[in-house]
Amino acid sequence: MINSLLWLIPLLPLLGFVINGLGRNTFSKSLIGFIGSGVIFASFALSVALFFDLHSSVQKQFPVELFDWISAGNLHIPLSFLYDPLSAIMLLIITGIGFLIHLYSVGYMHDDVGFGKFFSYLNLFIFFMLILVLGSNYIVMFIGWEGVGLCSYLLIGFWYTNSNYASAAKKAFVMNRIGDLGFLLGVFLIFNTFGSVEFAKVFPQAASMMPGAGTITLITILLFIGACGKSAQLPLFTWLPDAMAGPTPVSALIHAATMVTAGIYMIARSSVLFDLAPTTQMIIAIIGTATALIAAIIALTQTDIKKVLAYSTVSQLGYMFLGLGVGAYTGSFFHVLTHAFFKALLFLGAGSVIHAMHHEQDMRHMGGLKSKLKITFATMMIGAIAIAGLPPFSGFFSKDEILAHAFEYNKVLWAIGLFTAFLTAFYMFRMMFLTFSGKYRGTHHAEEKIHESPKIMTYPLIVLAILAAIGGVINIPHVFGGNEWLAHWLTGAGIAQHELELSHATEFGLMGASVLAALIALFYAYTKYVKNAHVPVPDESKRSILAKISYNKFYLDEIYDAIITKPLDAFSRFFYRIIDKKVIDGLVNGFGWSATEGSKGLRLLQSGNVGFYIFMMVFGIIALLLYTYLSIA
């Protein structure tokens, strides 16, 4: 069944893209919504069916070759898929959450003139995302990798008449491309080392190599650069917060649940290689931790509800990379999964708030929405608790698995991770309290219009809230008497498991520490924003230095502008105005000038008539040939 049906899973969204793309101006909105969501649901149903098929099968790797794509010399790249436990789970996340977000979008985008365009783009995104996780080699993965980048570009700039949004879209694409160059060079090196880019051929060969070999280290660093672009890690994360320019369902789907986790997927997929490169792993762990911390610090002072969530996403992705770096592949992947639930939920919830507030995103103008948006509040609260890492919600299990591995690897990284968990809980509850508690701070006129979102938007919230609450069950650790189902499942995809060597007491101690940190943060946020009803100050007011750095995002955009963009533009002008126009053209014109000067006597011939020159040229050729001919004769 897998071999015969797998190709349908990506094909259906592609069909949806084509049909909705062609009918975007003629079809009714309900038809577009039906087609757009329907194809994703069909893909989801197939993914579920195939999942159970794989579950009951002894064979865990199903390669499916479609056709020969690029072939030159000894380089052969087939367009082929690999269905295994890792891609199976990714398919479920992408199509499952994708479907919920499509449904939600029917309500959220209902009044937008670009409704048809939106759904076709969304379908196209799902198609590329599926290609990314289904590819059986790095190049097919790269099709999806860049394809989702394109969709991200299109959807960030969906409201393209706003030139800030269009700039945000361009920034995302370009920063991703910086990573993509790393990825591509990594793939080249893989081919030149292993003679193939197929996972099935690369990994077995790599397994016999020496750990720490220079080539493997370089390959993994290059791949990691690719992951930094796509999954928004230092120093390439600044595009993700700007990407919030896109409609909120896009932020939920692309910039939280799926696309941004592609880098983690890719590294988990290549775990055989990364396990051989301890230096790279250390770099990943450090970059991940630093990103998690810096993004969390920035999130502390943001006032735009979506920006808080965006930095929170960057920070959570940092956790996942920390996990990858310390060898907790399952833990990271587990966090991908739970994060997909709670972050999609939080974004969609924020979208519901924004929808209700008629496109107000500034939390300083919100407050007291609890009573008006009951479902949104309740579901978002579950999401906030899950991300804060309070048991028994899903985020608790996945985050603690990463932190436990980090503790074993390096205590400093663990401590920073724990501190970040504290910050996470604080900014999340800050966001919740500012939005839902206290008194409404907007205009009275706007207040009357606030209403809960329609069912098509709240139902997905409820489903996601349930998943965010109980999602942890798929990998309950031994310490709680669980069987770590996900870990066992992923061994079928060749992902090695690193068993924790901590005692149960230590594990409980670590969990206690992180729960305590989250509770302190909750209490502190409650005191500050509910009891003392503190509201963040307006943009122009004075801030302490730390708050200033946080509020201005560590000035990273300004720094990049000063050290990269401006110098490149200066080079551009210098090359054009000086080298091209003065130096090279000067030489060429110099030749022309000296020719003119030197031939003043022959001025009559310099008629400026190109036709005459050509005649002379042909004449010259003939004369030359004639001379040669005569000299031979």
Partner 1 sequence: MELLILIFLPLVGAIITSLLKGGSAKISALGFALVSLCVTIGLLTKFTPDATTQFAVNYPWIQQLGINFHVGIDGISMITVILTNVLMPLIILSSFKHEYKNANAFYALILFMQSGLLLVFTALDGFLFYIGWEAALIPIYFICAMWGGKDRIKVNMKFFVYTIAGSLFMLLGIIYLYLQNPAKNFDINAFYALNLDSYQQGWIFWAFFIAFAIKMPVFPFHTWQPDMYTEAPTPGTMLLSGIMLKMGIYGVIRWLLPIVPQGVNDWVCVAMILSVIGIVYASLIAFTQKDAKRLVAYSSIAHVGLIAAGIFTLSTQGMQGVMVQMLSHGINVIGLFFVLDIISSRLKTNKIEELGGLAKVAPKLAITFLIIVLGTVALPGTNGFIGEFLLLFSVYSYNAWLGLIAGLTIIFGAVYMLRMYQKVMLGETNALTISFTDIKGTEKVVLYTICVLIIVIGVYPKPILHLSEASVQHLLEQVNQKLTGVN
Contacting residues toward partner 1, per CB under 8 A: 67-75, 139, 142-143, 145-147, 150, 153, 157, 160-163, 166-167, 169-170, 173-174, 177-178, 180-181, 184-185, 188-189, 191-192, 568-569, 571-573, 575-576, 579-581, 584-585, 588-589, 591-592, 608, 610-611, 613-614, 617-618, 621, 624-625, 628-629, 632-633
Would you say 508 or 613 has its CB closer to partner 1?
613
Instruction: Report the SS3 class of residue 186.
Output: helix
Residue 402's Cβ-side half-sphere holds a number of Cα atoms within 13 Å equal to: 34
Would you say 52 or 160 has its CB closer to partner 1?
160
Q: Please return the burial class of 142, using the count of CB atoms within 10 Å of its CB with bins 0-12, 13-18 and 19+.
A: buried
**Residue 57 φ/ψ, nearest 5 degrees:** -90, 150
Whether residue 376 contacts residue 452, with contact meaning beta carbons closer than 8 Å, is answered with yes
Taking the complex as a whole, how short is the minimal distance between the CB of residue 99 and partner 1, in angstroms? 24
Would you say 546 or 618 has its CB closer to partner 1?
618
Q: Please return the burial class of 335, using the count of CB atoms within 10 Å of its CB with bins 0-12, 13-18 and 19+.
A: buried
Query: Residue 84 belongs to what H/E stretch?
Result: none
Taking the complex as a whole, how short is the minimal distance between the CB of residue 206 and partner 1, in angstroms? 19
Can you tell me the distance from the alpha carbon of 299 to that of 306, in angstroms, rounded to the nearest whole number?
Answer: 10
Q: How far is CA 307 from CA 86, 175, 239, 240, 347, in A?
A: 31, 19, 12, 9, 10
Taking the complex as a whole, how short is the minimal distance between the CB of residue 161 and partner 1, in angstroms? 5
Can you tell me the distance from the alpha carbon of 88 to that of 95, in angstroms, rounded to the nearest whole number?
Answer: 11
Taking the complex as a whole, how short is the minimal distance between the CB of residue 191 and partner 1, in angstroms? 7
Taking the complex as a whole, how short is the minimal distance between the CB of residue 259 and partner 1, in angstroms? 15
Can you tell me the distance from the alpha carbon of 213 to that of 221, in angstroms, rounded to the nearest whole number?
Answer: 12
Whether residue 432 contacts residue 349, with contact meaning beta carbons closer than 8 Å, is answered with no
Task: Let me know the angle formed at the C-alpha of 428 by 425 and 433, rounded to the nearest 5 degrees.
Answer: 120
Can you tell me the distance from the alpha carbon of 445 to that of 74, in angstroms, rounded to the nearest whole number?
Answer: 70
Taking the complex as a whole, how short is the minimal distance between the CB of residue 384 and partner 1, in angstroms? 36
Residue corresponding to tokens 């579901």? 379
Instruction: Report the SS3 class of residue 247.
Output: coil
Taking the complex as a whole, how short is the minimal distance between the CB of residue 176 and partner 1, in angstroms? 9
Taking the complex as a whole, how short is the minimal distance between the CB of residue 73 and partner 1, in angstroms? 3
Taking the complex as a whole, how short is the minimal distance between the CB of residue 576 and partner 1, in angstroms? 5
Strands 75-83, 62-72: pairing is antiparallel
Would you say 188 or 524 has its CB closer to partner 1?
188
Taking the complex as a whole, how short is the minimal distance between the CB of residue 625 and partner 1, in angstroms? 6
Instruction: Report the SS3 class of residue 68.
Output: strand
**Residue 72 φ/ψ, nearest 5 degrees:** -155, 120
Can you tell me the distance from the alpha carbon of 31 to that of 43, in angstroms, rounded to the nearest whole number?
Answer: 18
Q: Residue 214: CB partners within 8 Å, gap ≥ 6?
A: none
Rounding to the nearest 10 degrees, give the CA dihedral for residues 303, 309, 314, 318: 110
Taking the complex as a whole, how short is the minimal distance between the CB of residue 82 and partner 1, in angstroms? 18
Taking the complex as a whole, how short is the minimal distance between the CB of residue 504 and partner 1, in angstroms? 48
Would you say 48 or 178 has its CB closer to partner 1?
178
Can you tell me the distance from the alpha carbon of 166 to that of 244, in angstroms, rounded to the nearest whole number?
Answer: 12
| Residues comprising the chain, all counted | 633
Can you tell me the distance from the alpha carbon of 395 to that of 335, in angstroms, rounded to the nearest whole number?
Answer: 7
Residue 530's Cβ-side half-sphere holds a number of Cα atoms within 13 Å equal to: 15
Taking the complex as a whole, how short is the minimal distance between the CB of residue 236 and partner 1, in angstroms? 11
Would you say 509 or 590 has its CB closer to partner 1?
590
Whether residue 344 contacts residue 423, with contact meaning beta carbons closer than 8 Å, is answered with no
Would you say 78 or 318 has its CB closer to partner 1?
78
Query: Can you read off the two tokens belonging to residue 585?
Result: 């053209």
